[in-house]
């Protein structure tokens, strides 16, 4: 991770890692389907899905779309998350949003153990 960030920049490294993680999660879901709720795999499914959605929110914000178009592309359950990310990016930049997403994923995964 550190070498990748050094080679291509921190923002690009976060983007690459999230893209690959989302791709991997999607393939697992397509091949194995939704895990039963009583399995540990279900918690991993939830964490990866939440991470993927937050990553997509960051990418949508970066496109500079209107608020209406942004909200139309994400579930209403995540409109508050959208606003939080918009505020964070406005104050501290996109890198801070990727940091938050990474911390959220880590916290989610730690709850499984």
Residue ranges of the domains in the chain? Answer: 2-112
**Which pTM does this prediction carry?**
0.83
User: 3-7, 26-30, 39-43, 82-86: which range is least confident on average?
Assistant: 3-7
Q: Which of 4, 99, 106, 97 is nearest to 48 (CA)?
A: 106
Q: Which pLDDT belongs to residue 113? A: 72
Task: Provide mean pLDDT across the span 56-76.
Answer: 95
Residue 1 pLDDT > 70, yes or no?
no
Alpha-carbon torsion (53, 57, 63, 69), positive or negative: positive
Pairwise CA distance, residues 73 & 104, whole Å: 21
């Amino acid at each position: 991770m550190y070498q990748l960030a050094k080679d291509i920049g921190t923002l690009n490294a976060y983007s690459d890692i999230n893209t690959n993680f989302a791709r991997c999660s999607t393939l697992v879901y397509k091949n194995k389907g939704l895990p039963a709720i009583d399995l540990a795999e279900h918690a991993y499914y939830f964490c990866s899905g939440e991470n993927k959605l937050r990553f997509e929110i960051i990418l949508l914000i970066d496109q500079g779309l209107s608020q209406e178009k942004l909200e139309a592309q994400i579930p209403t359950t995540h409109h508050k998350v959208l606003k939080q990310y918009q505020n964070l990016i406005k104050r501290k930049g996109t890198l801070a949003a990727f940091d938050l997403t990474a911390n959220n994923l880590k916290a989610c995964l730690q709850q499984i153990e």
